[in-house]
Amino acid sequence: MTEAVHIQFKDMAPDTLAGVEGLVVVFVSADGKMGLPARKVNVLTRKAVERAVGAPGWAKGKAGDVFRLGWPAGIAAEAVLVVKLPAKPTVEEARRAGAALARERGTADMTIVAGAQGRIDELSLGLALRAYSFVPHKTAAPDRSGAVTVMVNDPEAVARAAGPMAALVEGVFFTRDLTNEPANVLTTDDFAARLAAMQELGLEVEILEEQELQRLGMGSLLCVGQGSASPSKIVVMQWNGGGDEAPLALVGKGVVFDTGGISIKPAAGMEEMTGDMGGAGVVAGVMRTLALRKAKANVVGLVGLVENMPSGTAVRPGDVVKSMKGDTIEVINTDAEGRLVLADVLWYTQERFKPVGIVDLATLTGAIIVALGHENAGVFSNDDAFCEGFMAAAKAEGENAWRMPLGAAYDEKLKSRIADMKNIGGRDGGAITAAQFIQRFIKEGQPWVHLDIAGTAFVSGDTMLAPKGSTGWGVMALNRMVADRYEVKE
């Protein structure tokens, strides 16, 4: 998997700064106030930092912006990067600054002279996340040899604070790698194998093959993959770090490629359907993070892995399938397949694990993009307190989410003439009727949150913390939710 940039924390050594090569980073507050590190570099560069802060562009910059001083006199560095940042920044400001530094770094060595600057652990997280690049299929991979050194007053304390964040970065990168991977590489078999390899981290991993899914009566899930040569599977990942408590359950849609099936999608943009397993990718990334940081909680992650292809054996519009729950479903549109996968995985999760709560994630509908764009994931829930737990975690991590309505009136659109329900309710309110469909497979009294991440999982342009492609949205929020709400406190 993609390796994160290595960041090392060292004691302050201001007397060595004149000879430091590569990039030197200092911090100055909006009012031009400099700490000791910036003052030292300012003297070495014959007041170049002071002149930069006095320039007209400084006042226009925001907290976290970086100003580059190329080849300054008096030091060996090729550039001094002046970061506009308060001494005690917010989490968002610190991460924004780190991301800006990642964009400026290129392949050069970077020395961040932080001293007593606040939230350097969060800045380092932003730098590491934004430095991600998916390159395994490039024959000439970019040079990643540049080292990042952070000089701080108390390197051991900062390193301790940044330790859990290293696990978080690896979890996000795992999600991004999975979601960016082309479908001819990330088949259902390959996906399952990558998850099984996490047993070496302490996860219990179990793979349910098609024969077992048939025995369990998962006709809803199995119909989605019956047109593909790749076998459908469910992968169960368990992290048992919290004693005897019932687990929190995370469930992900893992459609490794979605052509739409017989209801085939338009050709334009179909290549992005390699990312239709984004929900499963997030679940995998969260489970990896929890295992790496040895979370004191019980969490189970389940992903339904299928490929939706048109062929002579594919499910057809008008077919009726039977779910594990026992309900029958008239398949009106074979491109509304994610909810068919989730229906059986969610029912199986409740039957087997009786979880304290369930969060499902899916790149489910284009309708949520129409409603919320690419700025927010859609959140649906049957339990206000459980939903608030997630929303608070998402807000704390800067992963935007917006709660959407549910209601019995939307169920009218799912009525079928020949079966218990249809799998689609029409164009209007499409994200809501999809959530209503899924809710039918949630037992009475079971706290549940459904996250439609179609707009946030995979984007066509850079975001603050990620380049174009997979963002890993949701890993940080769910990791925070586990830490805040479900970990055993010592």
Return the CATH number at 131: 3.40.220.10
pLDDT at 466: 97
User: Per-residue pLDDT tens for 103-141?
Assistant: 999 889 999 999 999 999 999 999 999 999 999 999 986
Q: How confident is the model at residue 254 (pLDDT cuts 50, 70, 90)?
A: very high
The answer to whether 292 touches 167, Cβ cutoff 8 Å, is: yes
User: Per-residue pLDDT tens for 43-66?
Assistant: 999 999 999 999 999 999 999 999
Q: Number of folded domains in the chain?
A: 2
Q: How confident is the model at residue 489 (pLDDT cuts 50, 70, 90)?
A: confident
> Based on the domain organization, do 398 and 465 belong to the same domain?
yes
Task: Provide the CB-side half-sphere exposure for 4 (13 A, CA).
Answer: 22
> Based on the domain organization, do 143 and 176 belong to the same domain?
no
**Residue at which a domain ends, from 96, 121, 153:** 153
> Based on the domain organization, do 269 and 227 belong to the same domain?
yes
- The pTM assigned to this predicted structure is 0.97
Instruction: Give CA–CA dist 58/28, Å, rounded.
Output: 10
pLDDT at 106: 85
Better-predicted residue by pLDDT, 41 or 145: 41
pLDDT at 256: 98
Q: Is the pLDDT of residue 146 over 90?
A: no
> Based on the domain organization, do 130 and 235 belong to the same domain?
no
At position 8, the amino acid (one-letter code) is: Q
> Based on the domain organization, do 178 and 125 belong to the same domain?
no
Query: Could you tell me where the DSSP H helices lie in 331-462?
Result: 338-353, 367-372, 384-396, 430-439
User: Per-residue pLDDT tens for 293-308?
Assistant: 999 999 999 999 999 9
pLDDT at 319: 98
The answer to whether 220 touches 321, Cβ cutoff 8 Å, is: yes
Q: Could you tell me the residue range of the domain that residue 65 belongs to?
A: 7-153
> Based on the domain organization, do 117 and 214 belong to the same domain?
no
> Based on the domain organization, do 307 and 365 belong to the same domain?
yes
Considering only CA atoms, which of 477, 485, 249 is closest in space to residue 377? 477
The answer to whether 282 touches 246, Cβ cutoff 8 Å, is: no
**Residue at which a domain ends, from 97, 122, 153:** 153
> Based on the domain organization, do 349 and 204 belong to the same domain?
yes
Token output for 16: 């060595």
> Based on the domain organization, do 197 and 57 belong to the same domain?
no
Instruction: Give CA–CA dist 306/315, Å, rounded.
Output: 13
Residue 330: helix, strand or coil by DSSP? strand
Instruction: Give CA–CA dist 184/331, Å, rounded.
Output: 27
Looking at the annotation, which residues are catalytic?
A: 265, 339
Q: From the centroid of its chain, how far is CA 450?
A: 15
User: Per-residue pLDDT tens for 362-402?
Assistant: 999 999 999 999 999 999 999 999 999 999 999 999 999 99
> Based on the domain organization, do 302 and 247 belong to the same domain?
yes
**Residue at which a domain ends, from 128, 153, 178:** 153
In a domain, 1, yes or no: no
User: Per-residue pLDDT tens for 10-22?
Assistant: 999 999 999 999 9
Mean pLDDT of the chain: 97
